[in-house]
Amino acid sequence: MADEKIREVIVTRCPVSGASELVYQTGWLEEAYEKLNAKIVLLQSLDPSLRSLHTTQKPPLAFRDGGNVPPIWSHSKGTDTLLIGLSAVKQSHAIIVAPDSDIKSIQDLRGKRLALPARKDTSLVNAMRAMALRGYLTVLEAAGIGRDEVTFVDSYPDEELEKAHRFMGIKGTPGEQPKIEDNYVPTHMGDMKALKEGKIDAFFSHRSLVYQVISRGYGKILIDIADSDLPKVNNIYPSAITVDRGFAEKNRDLVVTYLKELLKASDWETTHRDEAIRLGTGGQFGAEYEHIRASRPEGWDERDKPNLDKDLVELIRQQKDFLLKEGFIENDFAVDAWIDDSFIKEAEEELRKERSLANAS
């Protein structure tokens, strides 16, 4: 082993917390990989010129764990990845209005201006725009409001401010958490300014960002889809775990171990919910415990264990169809052909055997 070359595994994850955040923040995945002569390298700790790999998923990126829009987009463009797991942590997906807004119900959205995240660089899919549009349309359809009865307004971020506050979230990587007194909310500074200036009537937010906005007095929740009976499917419901096919073929043991650590973390999470949320603050930009806890309804962790259950696969299929219909992707593909369930099955079996041996001893 000492003479073997250490295998560097470049990974990236979205700040959605859950089991994927736990294995990084606790060092559990790092420890498991050390036993296999492998080393985790967080993409965000590398040269900034490589950060687009978070979306394109091109080599040398091995794993991506997070929102489903970028992996669907990259696979539709021919990137050779495999979908090896899904998880579904219930988190806020909310429409935010001004604190003094006269919009009291979703019926009041008729005729209003709704912000859609926009970027000057359109070479990569805009996952936040796709998420906001899907959230709005879910609510509008439930209220019987046509999309032609509202006005979608492009909302651009303050790019220099976002760059200055870039936060990595894992020890050994650059960046520090924004402080509450900074009145900084990642991705939403442009939205909040436009709302205050009366240029928009509402914007869409998700996970702990909703309560970062609320706690700073920038807005109030009109509706939170997570607390409603409306369909939940969106960018981070479900989250997608994908791997580069070439990497997986050469390093099957690392793929199985990755999933096994996620399975173990999700089990631990069910009996350590508060601790799991506190650890999650390490990966959600600017979030404190109260923000994440408030953004999660009861039963938030029921589907966090990685799986490829038929109902979640169907949500991915619906999401792919939505992205195709709305022009976020140009090329259709078969979701079933993208999936490889052999890794999660092997991880589950290895974990079952390990626990049986532990119980026997």
Domain range annotation of the chain = 7-89+237-360, 93-227
Tens of pLDDT, residue by residue over 32-51, are 999 999 999 988 888 888 98
pLDDT of residue 175: 44
pLDDT of residue 4: 75
Burial class of residue 310, CB neighbours in 10 A (0-12, 13-18, 19+): exposed
Lowest mean pLDDT of 46-60, 318-332, 339-353, name the range.
46-60
β pairing state of 203-206 and 93-97: antiparallel
Contact (Cβ atoms closer than 8 angstroms) between residue 255 and residue 84: yes
Domains 7-89+237-360 and 93-227 share a fold: yes
Tens of pLDDT, residue by residue over 90-122, are 889 999 999 999 999 999 999 999 999 998 889
Assign 274 a pLDDT band (cuts: 50, 70, 90).
Answer: confident
Torsion angle (degrees, nearest 10) of CA 59, 62, 64, 70: 20
pLDDT of residue 174: 41
Mean local confidence (pLDDT), 173-190: 59
Residue 208: phi, psi to the nearest 5?
-70, -15
Contacts for 339 with CB less than 8 Å, ≥ 6 apart: 82, 83, 84, 308, 313
pTM of this prediction exceeds 0.85: yes
Q: What is the 8-class DSSP label of residue 120?
A: S
Contact (Cβ atoms closer than 8 angstroms) between residue 219 and residue 213: yes
135 vs 180, more confident? 135
Q: How far apart are CA 262 and CA 110, in angstroms?
A: 43
pLDDT of residue 129: 96
Beta bridge partners of 7: 38
Mean local confidence (pLDDT), 320-334: 98
pLDDT of residue 160: 60
Q: How far is CA 254 from CA 234, 248, 341, in A?
A: 29, 8, 15
Mean local confidence (pLDDT), 226-249: 95
CA 251, 256, 261, 265 torsion: positive or negative? positive
CATH of region 7-89+237-360, choose from 1.10.240.10, 3.40.50.10090, 3.40.190.10, 2.30.33.40: 3.40.190.10
Q: How far apart are CA 101 and CA 208, in angstroms?
A: 22
Q: How far apart are CA 229 and CA 339, in angstroms?
A: 29
Mean pLDDT rounded to a whole number for the chain: 89
Tens of pLDDT, residue by residue over 185-234, are 767 888 988 999 999 999 999 988 999 899 888 999 999 999 999 999 99
- What CATH number should be reported for the domain whose range is 93-227? 3.40.190.270
